[in-house]
Chain A
Amino acid sequence: MNEQRTSGGACKVKKPISAAASRKIFIITFLAWPVLHWFVFYFLTNINSILMAFQRTVPGTNIVEWTTYNFENIFIEGFGGGEALLKEATINTLTFFAFGFFVLQPLNIIVGYFFYKKMPAYKVFRFMFYLPAIIPTMVMATLFKYIIAAESSGLLASVFSYFGAKLPNLIGSSEYAMKTMLFYNLWTGLTSFLLTSNAMKRVPVEIIESAQIDGVKPMRELVSILVPLVWPIIAVSIITSVLSIFTSSGPILIFTKGEYGTYTIAYWLFEKVLTVTNLEYAAAAGLFFTVLGFPILAFTKWLTRKVEDVEY
């Protein structure tokens, strides 16, 4: 099998590749691309992110200088200037974080519990509640915008006008824009129930049954038995949602483009890249918020680990 006929007709025995070498070749060929990809798209990119934060193109020239100007500017312009957009973005991001942590997460757990308990028509509700995760944000937010539009073609406006009232401009005013955005988050944010209800399904029925024999009521069953048992899943859900607050700009682009006091850190960065404006300053801000976001992430992780894992 391993013979090769030479031009002179003589047989030359081809040396078989050893099992170890063949294994090594296989590992190298399969891992070469992923490692190269990681090196270019993660390592080099993030190293460059740090370097870029300390660079500045001298105005009117192509000369790039090394400076801490971008970081100084974060405090001068971002937090202390006339618009203080980064200050506004930080406050709004923390508001979204608190809203997600204290409102959306508990609601998702409660909804997941009711689906786990197979409330009437739960299959229909499960389908409906999950729709916002399936329908493009762009579509959902655009439709929402048309529904709450203050113009006569807006659905809510026509209901208001039927009762002789006038619908305020819910996204075009500083008074309502953030509140409307939070409401939108609530309206479309009950989609992680699937994770908790599926995790609850894996809890042995014997545990629930013995608790019920002891007269445990539904709320206690949820808080004292199910939540601790499925805590690792809830913790993942919490951490994922915290991360998304810093990285996902949500529907701000569609609703306000950051106007009316609605900038968030993620949207501010998105806008900088979209308009290719002052990227070095944006890189410095990104680095600044990575450092600033770390304690929030660490706090969330610490909080999620306060509940001991239970094996069952």
Chain B
Amino acid sequence: MEKISAVKKFKLREKVRRTTGEKIIQYTLVVVFTVYSISLIFPLVWAFLTSLKTHSEYMLNSPFALPEQWLFSNYIEAFNSLEVDGTSFFGMLINSLWYAFGMCLGNVFVCSITAYVIARYPFKGSQIIYNAILIMMLMPIIGNGPTVYKMYSYLGIIDSPLFLISNAGGLGINFLFLEGFYRNVAGSYAEAASIDGANHYTTYFKIVFPQAMGLIATLVIIQFVGYWNDYSAPMLFLRSWPTLSVGVYKYESAMIKQADMPIYFAGIVITVIPVLTLFCLFQNKKIKKVSLGGIKG
């Protein structure tokens, strides 16, 4: 309590102390930051407004003009007519979903079980594994793309959903986060379960894993956004399974001048919606609530 009141007092004093010069700097910054923020949001607003126009409006009117008719039907048309390499827009949406979920869930789950064993079951090789992970992260091989391609071809996971296996490893940054969590999580629940006769698997899946759900959810969401936006891996290794990110590029690069641009922009807007929604939820600290709930039980 004392600490909280001290912080409040400090903040109050800090407010009072702001000099006129500092205030001028601050308001100048607000102006600069506002301009920059508008520049970031403007392309999305423009894409949205363009997505509601007719093709002739797009071609003939000023790019700043508002739509004459707000054609929300362009969004339905995007689902019906946007197609890349024989895959429909809906197909690309499904591909994006399984790719993003598959890549992040596989990785986070395997990282979670690896981290749990390394953190809570020390054995002779655990420190070696931990150090190997650190070295791997600090010494990345810059140009192993060609050999990765050959290896994946050899394993038969190229151009197949089996490609998801490539990411289902237990190492990397997620391991470090989870290892730190498992190392610090209270052992009392697990001990109580063990006394009650629970085996190691039950203890992990029914006691410890739920406690880590907050962190796991955060990692999954962060990774989901990354994989949803990823275009290079699907473009290289899932050529017959284009995701929305790949579709945006391929459709644009294959497009002829007569292509219906507003419908293309509708496709772009749809691509952004899932990640933007997740981001808004993240902003509202819902994930933080999950994190607190997990341990408080």
Chain A residues proximal to chain B, CB less than 8 Å? 22-23, 26-27, 30-31, 33-35, 37-38, 40-42, 44-46, 48-49, 52, 114, 119-121, 124-125, 127-140, 142-144, 147, 153-155, 158, 187, 190, 205-206, 208-209, 212, 218, 243, 246-247, 249, 253-254, 265, 269-270, 272-274, 276, 279-280, 282-283, 285-290, 293-294, 297, 301
B43 touches A147 (CB 8 A): yes
B199 within 8 A of A: yes
Contacts of B16-43 to chain A: CB distance below 8 A:
17, 22, 26-27, 29-30, 33-34, 36-37, 39-41, 43
Contacts of B266-292 to chain A: CB distance below 8 A:
268, 271-272, 275-276, 278-279, 283
- Provide the residues of chain A in CB contact with B41, threshold 8 Å: 128, 131
Contact partner of A274 among B34, B168, B201, B236, CB < 8 A? B236
CA distance A279 to B152 in the complex (A): 14
B194 nearest CB across to chain A (Å): 10
Contact partner of A136 among B14, B33, B34, B245, CB < 8 A? B245
In the complex formed, the residue of B with least CB distance to A143 is B43
B141 touches A119 (CB 8 A): no
Chain B residues proximal to chain A, CB less than 8 Å? 6-7, 10, 13-14, 17, 22, 26-27, 29-30, 33-34, 36-37, 39-41, 43-44, 46-47, 58-59, 62-64, 110, 113-114, 116-117, 121, 123, 129, 132, 136, 138-151, 155, 165-166, 168-171, 199-201, 225, 228-229, 231-232, 235-236, 244-246, 248-249, 252, 261, 268, 271-272, 275-276, 278-279, 283
Whether A131 contacts B40 in the complex (CB less than 8 A), given A137-B231, A253-B249, A274-B235, comes out as yes
- Provide the residues of chain B in CB contact with A31, threshold 8 Å: 114, 117, 129, 170
The A contact surface, by secondary structure, is: helix
Contact partner of A45 among B148, B245, B249, CB < 8 A? B148
Whether A276 contacts B149 in the complex (CB less than 8 A), given A137-B231, A253-B249, A287-B143, comes out as yes
B14 nearest CB across to chain A (Å): 7
B44 touches A273 (CB 8 A): no
A23 touches B63 (CB 8 A): no
- Provide the residues of chain A in CB contact with B141, threshold 8 Å: 46, 49, 286, 290
B169 touches A38 (CB 8 A): yes
A119 touches B168 (CB 8 A): no
B131 nearest CB across to chain A (Å): 13
In the complex formed, the residue of A with least CB distance to B167 is A41
Instruction: Using A33-B170, A52-B146, A144-B43 as known contacts, list a sample of 15 further A-B pairs with CB atoms less than 8 Å apart, ordered by residue number in A.
Output: A26-B201, A27-B121, A34-B171, A41-B169, A49-B143, A119-B30, A135-B44, A135-B229, A135-B276, A136-B272, A138-B231, A139-B248, A158-B62, A158-B63, A283-B147
A26 touches B143 (CB 8 A): no
A-B contact pairs, 28 of them (CB 8 A): A33-B170, A34-B113, A42-B169, A45-B144, A52-B150, A121-B33, A125-B33, A125-B34, A127-B283, A130-B279, A131-B41, A133-B225, A134-B279, A136-B248, A138-B248, A142-B252, A205-B7, A208-B10, A218-B22, A247-B140, A270-B232, A273-B148, A273-B149, A282-B145, A282-B146, A283-B147, A287-B143, A290-B142
